[in-house]
């Protein structure tokens, strides 16, 4: 149980970084932490204590195996996370070129 | 037939990115042919869905609880027609409009990826598959909002990307919890497992996660802050896609599909939806009244009109759902028309400030008249489509005994009318500004798609007459079935 709570705390740390930090790079890192927390949770969902990979061999009987589906899903989700992070970092670099600052409170030309 | 809706845009995106740089004309041609093909297939899917009730396609021949399936039912074909109709007219418009940007082929590549994501969300019958398509559409739209790479556009795109990724994380967490509770990802199977288990606290937690995630994507009022920046900053044809269909598919469609067909609707969820709908309807229209930026004003109206859709669906009665879905279709038509009008004004004048316009009707008759049609539709003036759907929603509120919400809907409609009278007065009527004497009407492709949308605005009021109503009614039936969706899918598999 304590693993799940730690995982949830990690999620909250990420959310805190996104909501409270002023530096855009720190916000991007916060997004990364949220993503990792969710991925970790997904893997934990499929984990069994002392379980092993469900590979069927001829003369073996596996009694206790981990659920392979969450692992496959997490791989997909990591790739998606990579795409999002790459895009946001690219936008952050262009923002720095335009505004000359990473401070989110100084980047506010849009309002109303 | 079903995988075609994903294959065509994905293939077109691949070919355009590969060949578009060398052969300039090819990107226009491929994008338009692709969306035209999608429109034809989606129109063809309507009679098929009516005849068969439901069609299930098994990807790779694997049986659904294990493999991934695609589902075509009434709601699916209704959403497919809405999305592909708007996207075809928007690509026609983009032939001329996107000339002022460099790298047109990159625009078409991203556009087709976004379309692939949206069509995928609509046809898929698997929960994680829905998440993947949702991310494809979202990432393409983050990039498209930043397409101009000016300071404001980058700022808006950054905000949108951060909010969108947080929303996606909520949705993924919800999917993880749902998987751990039901140990399946197939939508029909989830509904089957959930109906045999007793109601527990974890379902409430999953509901909250999905509600927060999809409401962020749909920009309902407490979650709306990104939309008013992101939608005006994109190129006009993309604003039309984002406001017209993206927030509906990513937000409203996914929300109602999960709540009605999977988790099963109950009165608490319905009253939350109604409250969010009513709140967005009023708050956003009041914010819109104070705007002087043409596109920003339209963006606030998008939030307000999505409020109507959610209010109608949240009523949960057959008439309310009918009104909500009908308004969803109508809004995608007239809001994309209004955004294309604003794009035409920007194309000719180079400004979005309403105070710098005036008397544009003389110089740009097509833009002026089509925007008049769209404004009257959105404000709910009788012969146009917006009147019928708003009237049905208000009627449904009264029928369900929700007089407060009916009153809010009427007030919202009056305020909408007021703010569009302001647009018409400052932009299109009145005296022509001295320094605007040289402006010209926009090129033919832009005119063509605006006229087509205006015609649809007038005729789509006919969708409620008995001859055409099965189109809407079959979508409403799927939602009214609620948990019966699983029996339909499993019935089709046998």
**Averaged over B72-87, what is the pLDDT?**
93
Q: Which residues pair with B72 in a beta bridge?
A: B55
SS3 of chain B? CCCHHHHHHHHHHHHHHHHCCCCHHHHHHHHHHHHHHHHHHHHHHHHHHHHHCCEEEEHHHCCCCCCCEEEECHHHHHHHHHHHHHHHHHHHHHHHHHHHCCCHHHHHHHHHHHHHHHHHHHHECEHHHHHHHHHHHHHHHHHHHCCCCCHHHHHHHHHHHHHHHHHHHHHHHHHHHHHHHHCCCEHHHHHHHHHHCCCCHHHHHHHHHHHHHHHHHHCCHHHCCCHHHHHHHCCHHHHHHHHHHHHHHHHHHHHHHHHHHHHCCCHHHHHHHHHHHHHHHHHHHHHHHCCCEHHHHHHHHHHHHHHHHHHHHHHCCHHHHHHHHHHHHHHHHHHHHHHHHHHHHHHHHCCCEHHHCCCHHHHCHHHHHHHHHHHHHHHCCCCCHHHHHHHHHHHHHHHCCCHHHHHHHHHHHHHHHHHHHHHHHHHHCCCCCHHHCCCCCCCHHHHHHHHHHHHHHHHHHHHHCCCCCHHHHHHHHHHHHHHHHHHHHHHHHC
B135 contact A CB<8A = yes
Q: Residue A112: its pLDDT value, please?
A: 55
B195 touching A (Cβ < 8 Å) = no
* Alpha-carbon gap: B303 to the closest alpha carbon of chain A (Å): 15
CA distance A62 to chain B (A): 20
Please report the pLDDT score of residue A76 as a whole number.
93
Smallest Cβ–Cβ distance between A77 and the set B139, B154, B172 belongs to: B172
Contact in structure between B333 and B388 (CB atoms under 8 Å): no
Q: Give dist(CA B194, CA B483) in Å, integer.
A: 10
What is the average per-residue pLDDT within B236-244?
92
pLDDT score at B352:
85
Mutate: best of A1, A43, A71, A88, partner B, most B CBs <10 A:
A88
pTM over 0.90: yes
Higher pLDDT, residue B359 or B389: B389
Of all residues in chain B, what percent carry a pLDDT higher than 70?
100
- The per-residue pLDDT for range B208-221, each reduced to its tens digit, is 999 999 999 999 98
pLDDT band of B21, cuts 50, 70, 90: confident
**pLDDT value, residue B413:** 92
Interaxial angle between packed helices B74-97 and B318-349, expressed in degrees from 0 to 180 and rounded to the nearest 10: 10
A→B contacts (Cβ < 8 Å), by residue, are 11, 15, 18, 24, 27, 31, 34-35, 38, 41-42, 45, 67, 69-70, 73, 76-77, 80, 83-84, 87-88, 91-92, 94-95, 98-99, 107-110, 112
The answer to which of B9-13, B152-156, B432-436 has the lowest mean pLDDT is B432-436
**In this predicted structure, which of A40-54, B192-206, B322-336, B429-443 has the lowest mean pLDDT?**
B429-443
Torsion angle defined by CA atoms of residues B375, B377, B378 and B379, in that order, rounded to the nearest 10 degrees: 80
Which residue from B minimizes the CA distance to A97?
A: B151
Interchain CB contact of B165 with A (< 8 Å): yes
Least Cα separation, residue A49 to chain B (angstroms): 16
What ipTM does this complex have? 0.94
Contact A91 B179 (CB under 8 A): no
Q: Which of A76, A77, A104 to mutate to test the interface with B (most CBs of B within 10 A)?
A: A77
Q: Which of B141, B157, B166, B169 to mutate to test binding with chain A, by most A CBs within 10 Å of its CB? A: B169
Looking at residues B386-408, what average pLDDT do you find?
A: 92
Are A18 and B158 an interchain contact pair (Cβ–Cβ within 8 Å)? Answer: no
Cβ-defined contact of B165 to A77 (cutoff 8 Å): no
Average pLDDT in the B165-181 region?
Answer: 93
CB contact under 8 A, A91 and B166: no
* Residues of chain A with C-beta less than 8 angstroms from the C-beta of B173: 11, 38, 41
Report how far residue B165's alpha carbon sits from residue B139's, in angstroms, rounded to the nearest whole number: 9
Average pLDDT of span B337-356: 88
Asked if B72 and B55 touch (Cβ cutoff 8 Å), the reply is: yes
- State residue B413 phi and psi, 5-degree precision: -65, -40
- Mean pLDDT over residues B369-382, rounded? 90
Handedness of CA B326, B328, B332, B334 (dihedral sign): positive
């Amino acid at each position: 149980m304590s693993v799940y709570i730690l995982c949830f705390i990690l999620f909250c740390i990420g959310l805190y970084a996104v909501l409270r930090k002023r530096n855009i790079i720190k916000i991007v890192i916060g997004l990364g932490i949220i993503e990792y927390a969710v991925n970790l949770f997904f893997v934990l969902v499929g984990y069994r204590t002392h379980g092993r990979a469900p590979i069927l061999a001829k003369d073996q009987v596996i009694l206790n195996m981990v659920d392979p589906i969450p692992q496959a899903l997490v791989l997909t989700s990591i790739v998606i996370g990579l795409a999002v992070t790459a895009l946001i970092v690219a936008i952050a670099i262009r923002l720095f070129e335009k505004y000359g600052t990473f401070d989110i409170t100084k980047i506010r030309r849009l309002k109303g | 037939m079903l995988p075609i809706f994903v294959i065509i845009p994905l293939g077109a995106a691949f070919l355009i990115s590969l060949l578009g740089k060398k052969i300039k004309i090819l990107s226009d041609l491929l994008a338009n042919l692709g969306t035209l093909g999608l429109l034809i297939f989606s129109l063809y899917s309507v009679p098929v869905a009516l005849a068969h009730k439901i069609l299930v396609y098994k990807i790779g021949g694997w049986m659904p609880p294990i493999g991934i399936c695609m589902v075509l039912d009434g709601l699916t074909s209704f959403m497919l027609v809405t999305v592909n109709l708007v996207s075809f007219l928007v690509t026609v418009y983009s032939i001329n409009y996107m000339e002022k940007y460099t790298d047109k082929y990159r625009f078409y590549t991203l556009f087709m990826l976004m379309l692939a994501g949206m069509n995928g969300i609509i046809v898929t019958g698997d929960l994680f598959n829905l998440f993947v398509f949702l991310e494809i559409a979202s990432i393409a739209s983050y990039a498209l909002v930043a397409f101009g790479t000016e300071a404001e556009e980058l700022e808006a795109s950054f905000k949108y990307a951060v909010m969108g990724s947080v929303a996606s994380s909520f949705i993924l967490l919800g999917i993880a919890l749902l998987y751990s509770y039901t140990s399946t990802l197939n939508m029909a199977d989830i509904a089957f497992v959930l109906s045999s288990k007793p109601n527990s606290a974890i379902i409430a937690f999953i509901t909250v996660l999905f509600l927060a995630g999809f409401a962020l994507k749909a920009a309902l009022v407490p979650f709306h802050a990104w939309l008013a920046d992101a939608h005006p900053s994109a190129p006009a044809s993309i604003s039309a896609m984002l406001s017209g269909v993206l927030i509906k598919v990513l937000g409203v469609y996914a929300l109602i599909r999960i709540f009605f067909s999977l988790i099963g609707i109950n009165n608490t969820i319905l009253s939350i939806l109604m409250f969010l709908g009513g709140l967005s309807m009023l708050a956003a229209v009041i914010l819109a009244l104070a705007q002087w930026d043409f596109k920003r004003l339209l963006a606030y109206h998008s939030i307000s009109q999505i409020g109507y859709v959610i209010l109608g669906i949240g009523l949960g009665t057959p008439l309310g759902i009918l009104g909500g879905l009908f308004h969803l279709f109508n809004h995608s038509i007239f809001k994309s028309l209004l955004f294309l009008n604003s794009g035409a004004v920007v194309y000719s004048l180079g400004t979005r400030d309403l105070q710098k316009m005036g008397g544009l009707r003389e110089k740009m008759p097509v833009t002026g008249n089509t925007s008049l049609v769209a404004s009257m539709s959105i404000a709910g003036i009788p012969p146009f489509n917006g009147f019928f759907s708003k009237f049905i929603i208000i009627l449904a509120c009264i029928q369900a005994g929700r007089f407060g919400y009916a009153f809010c809907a009427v007030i919202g409609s009056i305020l909408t009318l007021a703010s569009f009278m302001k647009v018409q007065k400052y932009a299109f009527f009145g005296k022509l500004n001295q320094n605007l004497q040289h402006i010209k009407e926009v090129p033919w492709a832009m005119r063509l798609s605006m006229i087509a949308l205006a015609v649809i605005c007038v005729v789509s009021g006919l969708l409620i007459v008995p001859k055409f109503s099965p189109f809407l009614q079959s979508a409403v039936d799927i939602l009214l079935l609620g948990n019966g969706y699983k029996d339909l899918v499993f019935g089709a598999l046998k």
